Each structure stands twice: as C-alpha cells, then as structure tokens.
Amino acid sequence: MHGTRILEEADRLMTVCNSCRYCEGLCAVFPAMEMRRAFSDGDLNYLANLCHACGACYVDCQFSPPHEFNVNVPKTLAIARAESYAAYAWPRAFAGVFARNGLVISLIAALSVAAFIFGFAAVHDRQVLFGVHTGPGAFYQLMPHNAMAALFAAAFGYAIVALVMGVRAFWRDIGEPVGMKTDAKSLLQAFRDAGELRYLDGGGVGCFNEGERPEDRRKLYHHLTFYGFMLCFAATCVGTLYHYLLAREAPYAWWDLPVVLGTLGGIGLLTGPAGLLAAKWRRDPVLVDTQRYGMDAAFTMMLFLTSLTGMALLLWRETAAMGPLLALHLGVVFALFITMPYGKFVHGIYRFAALVRYARERQMTGHS
C-alpha cells in the first residue's frame, strides 16, 4: 500500500517495466528500477525525480495507450514528482497553495512588494521616485542599501532554510538501500550528469515534445536557463564583494564585472525560460501533468520577469524611469526568492540529490 493514488500507479508501471526492460538504455530511471524488486514510497519518489521527462519511453513503449496496460511513465512520474515537492516542502502548509495557483501567487507577491516600495517612496519624496539619479549609490536613493540588503537577505535566508529542510526530508526518504552517506566520486558523477543534463535526450536521440520526432531544444533551453541563473547569481556575489570589500557602490559601468556577468546571465534568463514556456505550451498533453501548469510555469515565468525587469533597469537606469523600474525589479526578485521552495526550482535540487543516489547505487553494485 502506498501513500497516494499516483504512487500506486507508479508502482504498477514500474512492476510492468521491470518485467519488460525494453527501455533500460534510455535514462537512469530504468537501471535504478532494475536494482529493486519492490518499491517503497521513497523509491518511487526517487525514480520520479530521476526522470527528466524526455518522453522517449512513452513513444517507444508497446504498452502505451490505447494498449490495455495503459503504460505512461513520463506523465505518471511527472505527477508523482510534483506531489513529492508538496510532500517534502517546509512548512508543509504552504506546499498545496502553490500547486494550482503558483503563477498568480508569485505575481501578486511581486506586485505587492513593488507597490509597497513604490508607494513608500512616492509618499516620502516623489522626487526620489521620479528624479534622474546617476553615479555610485544612485539605486539607494530609492531604498537605503542596508534596508535593501536586510530585506533580501531575509527572503533569501528563508528560501535556503526551506530548501534545506525539504531536501533533507527527501534524502532521508530515498536513503535505502545505500544509506545516508555519500562520497566524493558519486558527487562528482552527479555534478557531471546534472551539468550536461545527461538524461534529457531520450537515450541520445533528443527530447520528445510533440509527435514522434525527437528534438533537442528543451535541453538547450534548460542549459540557457541554468547557466543564466548561475551567471546572475555570480553577478550578485561580485556586486556584494565590490560593496563590502572595495567600498564601490552600484550601479556599475557596463564593462564592469557584475554588469557583464548580469547581462550575459540576463540574456540566458530571457531566452531559456521563453523557450521552455513555448515548448511547454506546444508539448503533447499526453506527456505532462496538465493539472499543475500554474506551479510549473510560475518559476519559469518569474525567472523571465526577473531578467526582463533587470535588463530594462540596465537600459533606463539613467532616466526618470529608474525608480519605478527598480521597485518593480525588487518586487519580482523578492517574489522569486520566497516562492522558490514551493515551485519548479526544487526539481533541480531533488533531481541532483537523486543523481547522487543513483551514482552511489551504481558504484556499490559495481556498475560504474
């Protein structure tokens, strides 16, 4: 007996697949499945998060609908995966709220914070909001640096605590049979697999989006999004070092390192999420969890809006539009941080943890 209906279905499918084994070369899910004879809830959540939703096993399967076995591994694991985000979320009460309304909640949070900063500045001193400010410290006319740093450190700190609590619960649940400890070799292998998105190519042919012809663009869009995010994070870290170590205040010149990193990252975060959203829109509904489009799309959309408002701020930072644009950008970044532990962001973290477990299992069973 499993905790949910979808885990019951995932168990049924894994039992069918374990007898068939036709797809064992496609990705990590099938070899990991073959190491088991029975599946606990933790095992199924592990397999669900190991799946990259490439769709290849649906297209290749002789038992997919209309066959009476009704085998649809990508969709079943997508639903199990989404439910696992809620099951491991911290605090639990917030998880369900985001499942269907993720995009609306994220947008309301972003606009609320932006409106608060905008209103506060407008009431306090309209000239600060609509004036032209240039040179070091221009951004802090709208909001003092310490207040800005405290607000975002609190939001980021909350996101980190919630994410750590979630991944801890996930890791505990998927712990058997190899135990809780991991090692450097497994970690390195997982970093390599995650960095290359190794299992997002249907065993080498590409990802299935619509129809039966594979294409590889989802992998490209994922790469643009991931490396765009990392470059923007690096830009923020360098900017923080500039501020505290070199006493150099933002905004910086276009050729300065934080701006170069932020611009390259921003381009990645515009093109990657736009491509992912378009691919999601076109994707065959038979492969995806159509009930949770909101949660799925929310994080991708927030990344896109973070980049869009950041790039607009870069372009118009020396005009009277700077104040309203900065308020909007800060609102979007704040909303991105506080919604991160309850949306699609966690899929990257749980998937990485699943890849570490997989590398460890292979090592212990002599497969690597």
- Report which of 231, 301, 304, 226 is spatially closest to residue 271, judged by C-alpha positions: 304
Of 337, 295, 334, 340, whose CA–CA distance to 112 is shortest?
334
**Footprint on this chain of ligand SF4 (rule: CB under 6 A):** 16-17, 20-23, 26-27, 29, 51-57, 60-63, 71, 73-74, 77, 199
CB of 21 to ligand SF4, least distance (A): 6
Neighbours of 246 (CB within 10 A): 8
**Minimum CB–partner distance for residue 218 and ligand SF4 (Å):** 11
Smallest separation (angstroms) from ligand SF4 to the CB of 148: 41
Q: Taking the complex as a whole, how short is the minimal distance between the CB of residue 339 and ligand SF4, in angstroms? A: 26
Q: What is the signed CA dihedral for 35, 36, 40, 46, rounded to 10 degrees?
A: 20
CB of 331 to ligand SF4, least distance (A): 36
DSSP state of 37: S
- DSSP H helical segments within the chain, as ranges? 5-20, 29-34, 41-50, 56-60, 73-88, 92-124, 126-130, 145-173, 184-196, 217-245, 257-282, 293-316, 322-339, 345-364
Strand partners, 45: none
* Shortest CB 49 distance to ligand SF4, Å: 10
Q: What is the DSSP string of 342-356?
A: GSTHHHHHHHHHHHH
In this structure, what is the dihedral angle of CA atoms 15, 21, 26, 27, given to the nearest 10 degrees?
A: 40
Q: Shortest approach of ligand SF4 to residue 65 CB, angstroms?
A: 11
Closest to 351 measured CA to CA, from 91, 90, 29: 29
Q: Tell me the Cα Rg of the chain.
A: 22
CA dist., res. 346 & res. 342, Å (int): 7
Task: Output DSSP code: residue 4.
Answer: S
